[in-house]
Chains A and B, each alone.
Chain A
Amino acid sequence: AQSVTQLGSHVSVSEGALVLLRCNYSSSVPPYLFWYVQYPNQGLQLLLKYTSAATLVKGINGFEAEFKKSETSFHLTKPSAHMSDAAEYFCAVSGTGNQFYFGTGTSLTVIP
């Protein structure tokens, strides 16, 4: 079975500071991992995805994530936070059976 755990339901950073959103996964098969962002009153937008091609994945809006098998982690980072990054972020894993499992989400607040 597959699942993801997002540590920290709320994260606050100052504008210009490093953004680090944590995601740990559990999977009985090689996982495919995703980060999505949800802005208020909108649907989810894909930030990036890991499909085993490269462990460091670059996404949109300056975000990137590193797949670490030994730590079963797929943390999302951005070197410098912008006010526009304030949103809800979801980590997700897929595996066999075409099932797609989302984490509980992390709400990012950017302090000016």
Chain B
Amino acid sequence: DSGVTQTPKHLITATGQRVTLRCSPRSGDLSVYWYQQSLDQGLQFLIQYYNGEERAKGNILERFSAQQFPDLHSELNLSSLELGDSALYFCASSVGASGTNTDTQYFGPGTRLTVL
């Protein structure tokens, strides 16, 4: 158990809908990262937040947005969903802002999104 929690575990929805994925980082971690894992695209970095502020952006679509709240939990919002958005979405957390350098990123168990 990494200490990172994600809800829900599974999510099934229809095209055009909007969903929210939730992540709670490990106690004491200030950075949260979101990743998308799909068969055709592999594991892709979406976005990073540090202490409530956006820190780095990866291959995140404009239909997707995220935020980190004062209690440090984070939400990833996916809107106007398409079939191709079906994937595993992982959240990770690390202590500092430069988590991609020397800090270890701890991954949650993921949310499996299925768009029908």
Binding site for B on A (CB under 8 A): 32, 36, 41-46, 49, 51, 90, 94, 97-105
Q: Determine whether the beta carbon of A43 is less than 8 Å from that of B110.
A: yes
Q: Determine whether the beta carbon of A43 is less than 8 Å from that of B43.
A: no
Q: Which residue of A lies closest to B44 (CB)?
A: A102
Q: Give Cα A66 to B32, complex, Å.
A: 29
Q: Determine whether the beta carbon of A99 is less than 8 Å from that of B102.
A: no
Q: Determine whether the beta carbon of B109 is less than 8 Å from that of A46.
A: no
Contacts of B33 in A (CB 8 A): 100
Which of B4, B100, B106 sits near A100, CB closer than 8 Å? B100
Q: Give Cα A30 to B101, complex, Å.
A: 11
Q: Determine whether the beta carbon of A100 is less than 8 Å from that of B2.
A: no
Q: Determine whether the beta carbon of B100 is less than 8 Å from that of A32.
A: yes
Q: Give Cα A98 to B46, complex, Å.
A: 12
Q: Mark B65-81, 1 if CB is under 8 A from A, else 0.
A: 00000000000000000
Chain A to chain B contacts (Cβ below 8 Å), 13 pairs = A42-B110, A43-B92, A44-B90, A44-B92, A46-B105, A49-B102, A94-B100, A98-B99, A98-B100, A99-B58, A100-B100, A105-B42, A105-B43
Which of B2, B56, B92 sits near A99, CB closer than 8 Å? B56
Q: Is B97 an interface residue (CB 8 A)?
A: yes
Measured between C-beta atoms, what is the minimum distance from B37 to chain A in Å? 9
